[in-house]
Structure formats: C-alpha cells, structure tokens
Amino acid sequence: MSVLPRRHLAKAITWRIVASLTTFLIGWIVTGDLNFGMAIGAADVLIKIALYYFHERLWYHSNFGVVEDGKHIYKPIFRFRKKKVREAAVPVKSNENKS
C-alpha cells in the first residue's frame, strides 16, 4: 500500500478549513458579533500556519523516533537524572534509664 503526497496535502487543507470554521463559529457564538467571529477565524488561519511551520522546523532538527539500521539514533528531549542519595549520620539517643 502506498499513499500519494497529495492525500496528505488534501487532509491538511480540509483540516485547516474545519479547524478555522470551528474557531470562527466559537468566536461568533461567544461574542454574538459575526464580524468578530470572521476576524478571529482569519487570525486563526494566519497564526496557526506560522506556528505550524516553526513546529515542523523544530521537529526537522530532532532525531526523535528516527531509526537507522534498526537502532534509535535520537537523543532524548528530557533527560531524567537519578538523584544521588546521600547517607547522613544521625545521632542515636540511648534509651537507657538512669536511676
């Protein structure tokens, strides 16, 4: 099975239409102003296209999930370090009753 690149393009375009229409409708319903809803919908398109572009560029520079010759070559995004546990000398009091 293979998928043509135009399928991905069509999905991206149709999703952008659905998402922007949703934003437009929410803006219109919340404010009751059709013009404000359209302005929010237009801003949504422009802002999210720019954000998506920069998001893609960041992922382009990441090797996360990339496999070469059966080995993962990525560096983890977050490095969890094990905390070193220090032993502390705690003075112990004697429970001997002095009479």
Tens-place pLDDT, residues 8-66: 888 888 999 999 999 999 999 999 999 999 999 999 999 998 898 898 888 888 877 77
Element (H, E) at 43: helix 34-60
**Prediction pTM value:** 0.54
Domains of the chain, residue spans = 5-72
pLDDT band for position 4 (cuts 50, 70, 90): confident
Decide if 71 contacts 63 (C-beta within 8 A): no
Per-residue pLDDT, 77 = 61
Residue with tokens 């080995």: 71
